[in-house]
Structure 1
């Protein structure tokens, strides 16, 4: 019984895996079909433009005077019989470029239509013109085309060789296949007549000429070495190159230091004479001596405050403390000016150091370029000597080999076995096979691409990946939606019933969690931008507002989007203005016109949003809002971008982590959750957004598409 259960479990897993592979193909079936049909249609059009090709074959025999089983190594020297290697050489000779030129000139193929017109027919004049190219092709082009269409294939185990030629003309393919064999017979006759010339004498002449070139190149190399005083050019170039690298690094460091000091110098010049602004500069305020004086100043101020509570202004102790305070103020002022002078001196010193290193660098560059030119010329002369020496040695070896084989004579017999005939039917293109192959290959290629892309994506885009995700609880899976232009313009609810019901499922999961009470203050964050946290926060707030009074706070002051999505003025007062005490609460909070929802947008973007969110006033505002609202939802920045979400997570009851189902990497999700867990953030769970793999798609579409029986109730009055 247990074995049967294991088998059933394995079959279920296999079915899920197969579904995961086939689902992307089914969802993109029309794209796959369109791509396949377009590629196949293009292939069919291309085939209709091609001219048919014909192939003719002639059979030639290239043999020796003796049967193959009586040949030995000594036969090649003593009895003038050809070896198998020499016969193979004849096959390669038939394929050579020089031999092709002879056949072309004998048949006068330079101006033949075969090599002027292209592979396209006259159905499409543009492609035909592209295929034709020049009206009079060069010999090199004709030879290249000729060699591509010529095939020389020895028949294994025999002395026969097949000579095949493919042409757009059946008669031409026959003529060329036969002419190749005839030309080879003529070539063998020329070989026998040219064998009388002395190869050794030619090699001696070549050796004499190469010897002179070798002497001249060696003399030029030595003359150049002595004229330039070159001993070890490679070592010198290496030393100069190392020096150039060090100077470049030095220059960059000096320039960076000068740039850093330039900013401080400009700030000092800008606030010259203003001791308060100078002391607020980062480089001055962080100075150890000044910080010590500031601490002493704070001690004296506290002492003055304590004495003022006990004594009058003319008491000796208070007068003494006042005098000490004035003296300390003077010391602070003097210390600030001393630091300013020190920074100015350091800046001018850095500028001089930059100029000095740049001058040294220019000198080193000139030396390096001059030595590089010497090295290039020296290498060129050295290569010339080495090349001439190698050629001389090779010709000397060949001369000795020619002397040792002076009595060697090869003896072949060549004859036609079958001459080529005119082919009756074309061999290419096989249109049906090519179209069928293109169709199958297109489907396989696009399907494999889609499957590999889906499987290699390290995201939570499938049910299997969701089941294997253990870092946090999966609260809900939200489908991918695309709001219509009317919805974006009028700021209405999404018409996608699947998304609305998924948001309500998320609301239910938060309200009826059996392990703890429903959270009142909820923070919504994500790993990276553009995961839909603003949309989820807005729709979740609207969903809660159907039952209770809700406040939505946009705490992402760096890149606010809620005001823009609701067609509000992006510069209207909001959270930042409330924290800065520039506006009142009633000026910052707005009411959603659709539901019972109050919204506090981000407001004007401050220079340092993190400092605003770290204020005690922000925590106090949340507590105050908690007395007036049943639910508070805070939209925060992504955890990987900034640390705002980490700060806010300490002030809320629950954190919901939004994940883009098709884009967010699993490593990004895990690292973001680790950052929140390190500060003991109350992580409620993960919400998968923009998911395309909802198991209840068909059910929702069928269940909610019929709106004829829906009664629209009047909007609830705001409390």
Structure 2
């Protein structure tokens, strides 16, 4: 039953608790901390067990030592054939050194070390000596009777020498690590073994094996280079002879002796001719321009205007004649104003002017004729130079073609001769230094036996194990908290049962648990006493119009604290009302023992059986009257269901303000359901984080089917405060009750 509606015997509407809003996705750090603190015992137990196991394991581990030998490896070592082009290595640590590290870890180097140190018979690398006990037992059984067991059992320890050697090589490679020291050319070779001396010797053997492997490789490369160069020399000699024969044959065929010198002289002449041709073209253009100006004037009939042509007017002779004519013209102009036209001096001046003008025209004609003559000469000079230039250019082109072919042949001869000479030089160098090997690596620091083991780091191992154990303990605690489907706080009760929580009773401290049954009177624990007062207030406030005198306390299973709560509630209510505490649990009575009364005194069993009266059964503790169970009967349920029980309850209702009945657990026997049907009010006690929710819902549902008037729930033995509460000492000022 996931939902339980409560209706009391007076027909009141069921009380519905609105579930508190809860953000299930939010992580409540305080809630997690409370969970971890409450389960600190289990967490500390897991922590202690894990740490102890780590300590034992660390003490039994075999220490191993790491021996390191350091080499320096230069990326640019001496090459056998130095004229070979090598690719650029901008970052030798990433390419060259990685290759060399791979060579150090190669099988060849490992085999050298195993063979040199005879590691195939060492106890750490020999598979025959490090076989497990199980393998030895299996081998013995197989030797005892081979037909009964698999053949593989017999072969596990029967390694051949070759198999043992290969296994030792493989094991050594797994124990070897090669690293680059920072960004330098230093390479460290580390070997991890339990035997420190053997580990150091192995690291040095690996370093020397790598160097020996490099020397052997260089010697083989030198020998191969010499053989290849001898073969290549024969081919180069033949190619050089063929190139020289072709060059000489071309010279003989073209009749060339020094084509280079001839080509140089002809080229200079062609350059000078080209310069003269340019000058001649410029002179012809100037003469042509002047001549065309004169021709243009003559064609328009402008003979007198020829003197205005720049080539004519700039002529010194023309300038002199022009000056004479200008002087004569000035004299004529002067005399014309002074004398008359027939004056002798005027006539003489005119004659002089006419003579000067005639001489000017004659001289201009001569200059014009000279311009034409100059133009003809310039044109003839240009044609002659152009013809000479074309002839020289044709000759140059013919010589250039011959020179190109000759130089091509000469370059072929020169290149073949250079290659041949280079190979000859390198061959002699290689043959001279064939027995000299210049390595590019050397041992900087040989390995020595370390004094302290590298692994295991016991302190770190124990600390990590302790940390992991602590984390595992916290995880287990949180998982148990998540899987726990019991009631942890009042919100769980209201949300799942829809019943009011009358009080939340905290768990007592250990020093007060021995006096828990009369804890309210003693007031040793203020929080517990206040929770009982809250319960008392809730019971009294539920009376409404009709006083609910008969009050039954029950629970789902035994051990949830209903008897203790009934005793303390009765003591609390006895201070303000007349209260009768009745022990209605006739199967496992505990009230008398808890209150320190006589357990064999006449009680409820004798009263219901008709063997005693009420006054005979009553016992008093202060203002509280108590009727214990008495002797346990054989038919407790029949006695509780009898009319005497109902008569007794009617008598108690009239005499006392409140009758509190302590009943058995509802899921153990049906006595609780029977008594709840007779009561005015039922208080259901639930132990925090103990009783599962489905079982509680089932028990309450059964009680409701019998008409039990369930007033509310008491959440008992809560080990943590309610959400929003504080563990303060607000009520600690109350004085404790005097000892009785």
TM-score bracket, normalised by the shorter chain, equals 0.3 to 0.5
Using the size of structure 2 for normalisation, the TM-score is 0.46
